[in-house]
Amino acid sequence: MDPPAEPAADAEPPEPEAPPFALDLVLPPEAARRLSRHPALTAIRRGRARSQPVALLWLDTADGALAADHLMAEQVGAGPTRLIRLRPEPDARTWPGQPDTDAPGEPPEGLAAVASFRGRRSVTPCADGVSVELVSGQIRAVPADLLVARLRLAGPAQAVFALARALAEDLPVLPATASLAEIGRALAAQEPPRPRRSGPALLGEAADAGAAVASAIGHLGLAMLHQREGALAGTEPEPVHQMRVALRRLRAILRLFRDCTGAPALLRLEGELKALAGRLGPARDWDVFLAGIGAEVPAAVGEDARLVPLLRKARAAREEAYDGLRDALGEPEFRLLALDIAEAAARPEAWRAAAPAADTALHGLGAALLERRWRKLRKRGRGMGKLDLAAFHALRIEAKRLRYAAELFAPHWPGKATRRFLRRLARLQDAMGLANDAEVARGLIGGLHGKWPGREWAGGLFDGWCLARVATAREKSLSCFAKLEKCKPFWRGRGG
């Protein structure tokens, strides 16, 4: 038998095999018991699950310095301690369900335990190189304990997302937005887990339109999904508000880059986001009314028995709207939307091939996109004083779209001119928003069902208050628009 041939001296070494893609999913502990019998898993299982106990310990300095930098020291069993990131670097592309990564360096000395986890880990080998790892157990901290379950799907990314979608059809699984370590830290601190991403999207190191969109989808998808638990609770208005803001920003960015990245998958994602925004709207509208005009009118006129039934009806309508919101956030469609967001951010190559010009360089593109939005806003805004309700609403949307686009590209033009333009644009949007809130309030009050003593009086009072608010806000909008027009658009300067 001849010996194997020696490789040519100038032959390139084989490229190292890429590590398997991993996606972390959250599921309720009671649902974890049904996982092994799920048809999507039994159909691809290729062997028995291997199960073993697992113990994790999370540590920090006495003053919480690691957690303040979104780090944590983690010890697995009796093994060595390592540093992990609780939040990706600001410029790093990220997505819902992305596992924690190791942080460089060694843990400092003098660490103290923050929280711990004890449970079991089972790993099931499956077809197509996919493995299914279920970790379930209890996080323990000094103030409280919490039962948790996490599912990690690893393997080729396309096969991972296919299995995740099959499971999400009838299991309440969602891409994780916080690690077990962050949940343990939050439990010990008696506060909610911190978001991995919040606020406007950051382009980071994105060099072209496709990379910018993938970065924005991951950032805003995380910001939106992080608010889900608070929105389900319905005790405070802020989670629904932040959820809707992230949704609007993401829709605006997908629309902004549509000419470059309008792949079928992203167009479908736009439609899904629009449908969800419609389901969130009523809850937010009632929150705004009850915290705004619904509180201002009684404060101005004093206690009057004729207002009590109307406000009681309004609070009942809010609860009904939140019931509808909870239905929307618990449906398979929402879970599949969350996975669509995660895949679009994690696997841009899956849609980039069908994107018209995803490789368009960002240099110069930002200025062209902003200029187009600005000209559209100015053209419509110069007749603002004569606009009817529908046209004024459309103008407000244009102002909002320009603001989201300007926030996205502002880091390319740092300086006083950029800050001034954004500040004046925000004031215009706020003034127009007050007018819109008052018009929405009129519709909400007019839509309350039933008859009660004093309805006509109370309804007339609110209607008159809203009409006065609309007139004042529209006048303010005219002033804000005039000041904005005097600003030199920052993208016409140096930068980009």
Instruction: State pLDDT tens for residues 251-275.
Output: 999 999 999 999 999 999 999 999 9
Mean pLDDT of 395-404: 95
The mean predicted confidence, pLDDT, of the chain is 93
Q: What's residue 204's pLDDT?
A: 78
Within 13 A of 476's CA, how many CA atoms are on the CB side?
A: 19
Say if residue 39's pLDDT is above 60.
yes
pTM (global) more than 0.85? yes
Cα 293 from Cα 477, distance rounded (Å): 19
Say if residue 5's pLDDT is above 60.
no
Dump the DSSP string for 341-371. HHHHHH-THHHHTTSTTTT-BSTTHHHHHHH
Partnered with residue 125 across adjacent β-strands are 131
Say if residue 228's pLDDT is above 50.
yes
Q: What's residue 383's pLDDT?
A: 87
Q: What's residue 169's pLDDT?
A: 96
Within 13 A of 309's CA, how many CA atoms are on the CB side?
A: 14
String of b and e for 289-310 (b: at least 16 CB within 10 Å)?
bbeebbeebbeeeeeeebbebb
Mean pLDDT of 47-68: 95
Phi, psi (degrees; rounded to nearest 5) at 489? -55, 130
Query: Which tokens in the block code for residue 271?
Result: 């439609």
Helix or strand run (H / E) with residue 116: strand 112-125
Cα 314 from Cα 446, distance rounded (Å): 11
Give the other-Cβ count within 10 Å of 227's Cβ: 23
Q: What's residue 15's pLDDT?
A: 55
pLDDT digits (tens, 9 = 90+) for 298-309: 999 988 999 999
Cα 50 from Cα 378, distance rounded (Å): 64
The model's confidence at residue 90, banded by pLDDT at 50, 70 and 90, is confident
User: What is the percent of the chain where pLDDT is above 70?
Assistant: 96
Measured CA distances, 436 to 70, 167, 236, 443 (Å)? 39, 41, 22, 11
Cα 139 from Cα 148, distance rounded (Å): 7
Say if residue 34's pLDDT is above 80.
yes
Name the 3-class secondary structure at 79. coil
Name the CATH superfamily, with its identifier, for domain 18-196.
Answer: Hypothetical Protein Pfu-838710-001 (2.40.320.10)
Say if residue 1's pLDDT is above 50.
no
Q: What's residue 11's pLDDT?
A: 53
Query: Which tokens in the block code for residue 194?
Result: 């911190």
Say if residue 341's pLDDT is above 70.
yes
Higher pLDDT, 111 or 5: 111
Say if residue 389's pLDDT is above 60.
yes
Mean pLDDT of 207-225: 96
The model's confidence at residue 382, banded by pLDDT at 50, 70 and 90, is confident
Beta strands in 363-493 (DSSP E): none
Say if residue 27's pLDDT is above 90.
yes
Give the other-Cβ count within 10 Å of 248's Cβ: 18
pLDDT digits (tens, 9 = 90+) for 236-253: 999 999 999 999 999 999
Name the 3-class secondary structure at 11. coil
Q: Does 1.40.20.10 match the CATH number of domain 363-492? A: yes
Q: What's residue 202's pLDDT?
A: 86
Cα 134 from Cα 295, distance rounded (Å): 48
Give the other-Cβ count within 10 Å of 274's Cβ: 11
Mean pLDDT of 373-388: 92
Among 324, 331, 251, which Cα is nearest to 285's?
324
Cα 430 from Cα 198, distance rounded (Å): 20
String of b and e for 81-97 (b: at least 16 CB within 10 Å)?
eebbbbbbeeeebbbbb
Q: What's residue 493's pLDDT?
A: 72
Cα 220 from Cα 242, distance rounded (Å): 10
Q: Could you tell me the residue ranges of all domains in the chain? A: 18-196, 363-492
Cα 24 from Cα 399, distance rounded (Å): 37
Mean pLDDT of 445-463: 93
Mean pLDDT of 205-232: 95
Higher pLDDT, 427 or 450: 427
Q: What's residue 44's pLDDT?
A: 95
Dump the DSSP string for 231-263. HHH-SSSHHHHHHHHHHHHHHHHHHHTHHHH--
